[in-house]
Amino acid sequence: MRKKVALVNQRYGTEVNGGSEEHCRQLAERLSKIYDVEIITTCALEYTTWDNYYPEGETEVNGIKVRRFKVEKSRNPVKFKKISDRVIGAEHTIEDEEEWVDRQGPYCPDCIEFLKKHASDYDTVIFMTYLYYLTVRGMNLKLKNAVLLPTAHDEPPIHLMVYRDVFENASAIIYNTVEERDFCEKKFDIYDIPNTVAGVGIEVPETIANDGKYNTGLGDYMLYIGRIDESKGCATLFRYFTEYKKRSGKNINLVLAGKSVMKIPDRKDIIPLGFVSEEEKYSLIKNCKFLVLASEFESLSMVVLESLAYGKPVLVNGNCKVLRGHCHRSNAGLYFRNYFEFEGAVDYLLEHPREYEIMGNNGKKYVDENYRWEQIIKKVTDLIESYKNYTD
């Protein structure tokens, strides 16, 4: 009989737009060729409120069994901000942190109750993303078969006391990058927990139907893909881009693909496309000059790897160790830590065609050698098959 593996994630579905959620779906679909895979999740679609969207109960998504539980309390942004101001970077109690976890959500006690009763039905339960309620409360159950895939980085919440048990209760850990592992092991003193650095597999289509129509009227452009949010560095990106255009006069646009939760400057050279399909996304990457990402907090960044796979250099925030690590190891990207480094990097990518081509080839090689699904799945399955030898 095949082993049973459950993946626990805060949202799940083809309509869900999110890095760890997309990672979860891709991982589940490939693990299902080896194990009996089931998803344990909520009925939420949007992370801002966690309002119930999908029907409660069992369903299938791309052939994978999905078990959904209702969110009991939607997230109230005003109340959540109020408690965040009291907890993040301020003096507080562990009780404040527990309330913060509940208010951040998705608050779904029925899901935790199910895990309490049925976790032993699975050989392995993989909790994805350290941050949210399901992982915090699920890891607090101290399950012997709990594997953590944290997608962690050095951000304010990870320094809360409540997260120590999330990491220390894991029977094994799957990291996305070497930088993530190094940070987590120093932060939580978990050197002795079995682990692997796996990441995510990257597959991009060589040919794209209707490729040209997605880029009509965009001109030469740098591309941002993801949630358009201040927490993703977008305010900095807009400020730097505006200053760059004023100082350089170069004819390049900034194209944005993703849902916006902040005001976008009303400029002809900043072009918001909103949410785009996978086909549109790949076409935009394939035809851009380079990808730009100003976020300080990334645990992997699939879109950076997808861009490198297309031979497109990346320009990223140098304050993010993970993104800086991609640039160093691949020799296919540049990074900035202030405006003048941003300006110099953009100029370099636009004015050095020979070096630009070399960087593109380096990026393809980097992804091919490190981020193919067969390599990723082998690392994950090797850990699943071996971690109990250390914990029994």
State the average pLDDT over residues 294-317. 93
pLDDT at 377 over 90: yes
State the average pLDDT over residues 83-89. 91
Q: Assign domain 4-201+372-391 to a CATH class.
A: alpha beta
Q: Which H or E run contains 180?
A: helix 178-188
In tens, the pLDDT along 12-28 reads 998 886 678 989 999 99
Per DSSP, the residues of 347-385 read: HHHHH-HHHHHHHHHHHHHHHHHH--HHHHHHHHHHHHH
Domain coordinates in residue numbering, the chain: 4-201+372-391, 211-370
pLDDT for 50: 96
Give the whole-number percent of the chain exceeding pLDDT 70: 98
pLDDT at 300 over 90: no
Say how many residues make up the chain. 392
pLDDT for 112: 98
Distance CA 114, CA 392 (A): 24
Angle at 277 between CA 276 and CA 282, to 5 degrees: 95
Banded model confidence at residue 259, pLDDT cuts 50, 70, 90: confident
Per DSSP, the residues of 101-157 read: HHHHS-B-HHHHHHHHHHGGGSSEEEEE-SSSHHHHHHHTT--TTEEEE----S-GG
pLDDT for 389: 62
pLDDT for 273: 94
Give the whole-number percent of the chain exceeding pLDDT 90: 83
Distance CA 307, CA 314 (A): 7
Distance CA 31, CA 378 (A): 10
In tens, the pLDDT along 195-225 reads 999 989 998 998 887 777 777 789 999 999 9
pLDDT for 16: 83
Rounded to whole angstroms, what are the CA distances from 70 to 51, 74, 324, 356?
Answer: 9, 10, 39, 49
Report whether 279 contacts 209 (CB < 8 A): yes
Report whether 300 contacts 199 (CB < 8 A): yes
Report whether 112 contacts 138 (CB < 8 A): yes
pLDDT, the chain, mean = 94
pLDDT for 143: 96
pLDDT for 186: 94
pLDDT for 274: 92
Banded model confidence at residue 390, pLDDT cuts 50, 70, 90: low
pLDDT for 215: 78
Angle between the N-to-C axes of helices 373-386 and 19-31, in degrees from 0 to 180, rounded to the nearest 10: 70
pLDDT for 18: 67
pLDDT at 392 over 90: no
Rounded to whole angstroms, what are the CA distances from 120 to 5, 6, 108, 116, 277?
Answer: 11, 11, 20, 9, 38
pLDDT at 7 over 90: yes
Distance CA 377, CA 116 (A): 28
In tens, the pLDDT along 262-281 reads 999 999 999 999 988 889 99
Residue type, 128: M
Distance CA 392, CA 371 (A): 31
Per DSSP, the residues of 229-283 read: -GGGTHHHHHHHHHHHHHHH----EEEEES-BSSPPP--TTEEE--S--HHHHHH
Which of the following CATH numbers is that of domain 211-370: 3.40.50.300, 3.40.50.2000, 3.40.50.800, 3.90.1170.30?
Answer: 3.40.50.2000
In tens, the pLDDT along 135-176 reads 999 999 999 999 999 999 899 999 999 999 999 999 999 999
pLDDT for 206: 86
Six-digit token string for 120:
């032993």
211-370 and 4-201+372-391 share a CATH fold: yes
C-beta atoms surrounding 265 within 10 Å: 13
Give Dmax over CA atoms of the chain in angstroms: 65
In tens, the pLDDT along 43-78 reads 999 988 999 999 999 999 999 999 999 999 999 988
Report whether 52 contacts 71 (CB < 8 A): yes
Banded model confidence at residue 8, pLDDT cuts 50, 70, 90: very high
